[in-house]
Each structure stands twice: as C-alpha cells, then as structure tokens.
Amino acid sequence: MSAVVPGIDTAAIVFTDLVGFTEYTDVHGDRAAVDVLDRQSSLVQDQLAGRGRIIKELGDGLMLWFGDGPVGFTVVCNILSSVCAARDRNEFPLAVRIGMHVGEVIGRGDDFVGQTVNIASRVADLAGPGELLVTEQVVRSLDGNGANSAFRPVGPTSVKGVGAPIWLHRLAI
C-alpha cells in the first residue's frame, strides 16, 4: 500500500456506487446489506493487490486512489469484471457503477481533496449499472496503450467551480 504524500500530486481518483442498494436494504434488511458491503470490499481488495487503495467508504460506495492512471484503469476494469462475474454466478446481488478521473489532488491526512475528487464523484453519478465512465483526461492518459477504441463518447458535463466542460467516455464492454 502506497503512503499518502502530503502536498499536490497527480493521481487517479475512482468512485464506485452500488445500484439499488437502498431498495435492496428495504427488501432484505440491514444484515443482508452489511453482507453486500463486506463482499464488495473483498472483491475490490482482491483486485487492488497493493496497486491502489480504498480511501474511504461512502455509504454503499467507495473512493479509491491510484498513483498511476493506466494502472488504476486496469485495476478498475478488473473490479468491474469481477463484480459482473460474481453477479452472473448469483454471488453478488447488485450492479456497480464506476466513475474515474485523473488530475492533481491534495493529500489531507488519509484523505484527498480537490477538484479532481469532485469531478470523479460527478462522473460516477452519471454512470449506469455495470458501467465505467471516465473523463477525457483518463482516455488521454491511456494513449499508446491501445485503449482508446474501447471507449464510446457520452458527452460533456459541468462541475461547479470548473470552468471547462468535462468530456466523458464510456468503456464499451
């Protein structure tokens, strides 16, 4: 696990969210909901394998940090695949949606703050079940890795305090 370096650094920030978690809790109860969260953490930790880390849990979502964009992208793709595979095997009840952005972040204790974090959160809000949405900055960071043809344009969105539009792309799977 990489240590958080105080000051400004470039990183990939990822937000995940479980689709329909509130309704699932209503129907199946708190105990089942906690089991889902534990299972999600386990699936994510298995894929992180020291290449990134969980910054914090946000209800049924997670905030992840990666020091390297392309590495983070690979890990996030694996997280998405592992959740989908677990769903196909009826071992996980809910779909996950994921948003990712790369840019400058400021370490604050064990957390990160800054517009990169805000943008990544907004990107995740716009993702659908089983989707990975990324910003154009993520796609550019993958240039040369042959990944660009894997994306479909989604459109621009705006984030408060960020003047330029944030162009989004969906990983086509």
Stretch of 30-38, 41-49, 67-75, 120-128 lying at the interface with another protein (CB under 8 A): 120-128
Q: In 127-141, which positions are buried (b, 16+ CB within 10 angstroms) versus exposed (e)? A: beeebbbbbbbbbeb
Nearer to another protein, 95 or 106 (CB): 95
- Least distance in Å: CB of 52 to another protein? 26
Site for another protein, residues 23 to 52, rule: CB under 8 A: 23, 26-27
Q: Is 170 in the site for another protein (CB under 8 A)?
A: yes
Considering the rule CB under 8 A, would residue 54 count as an interface residue with another protein?
no
Residue 155 binds another protein (CB under 8 A): yes
Q: Using CB under 8 A as the criterion, what x/- string covers residues 71-110 for binding another protein? A: ----------------------------------------
Q: For the chain, give me the number of helices (H) and strands (E)?
A: 5, 8
Among the listed residues 110, 128, 140, 173, the single contact to another protein using CB under 8 A: 128
For residue 19, give the 3-state DSSP assignment: coil
Work out whether 126 is an interface residue with another protein (CB under 8 A): yes
Residues counted in the chain:
173
Minimum distance from residue 23 beta carbon to another protein (Å): 4
Contact 18, 35 (CB under 8 A): no
Sign of the dihedral defined by the CA atoms of residues 111, 151, 37, 18, in that order: positive
In the complex, least distance from residue 29 CB atom to another protein, rounded to whole angstroms: 14
Contact 70, 145 (CB under 8 A): yes
Which amino acid is residue 150, in one-letter code? A
Among 13, 4, 1, smallest CA distance to 114 is for: 13
Alpha helix (H) residue ranges in the chain: 21-28, 30-48, 69-88, 115-125, 136-141
Q: How far is the CB of 149 from another protein (least distance, A)?
A: 15
In the bound complex, what is the minimum distance in angstroms from residue 133's beta carbon to another protein?
9
Residues contributing to the site for another protein (CB under 8 A):
19-20, 23, 26-27, 126-129, 152-158, 165, 167-168, 170
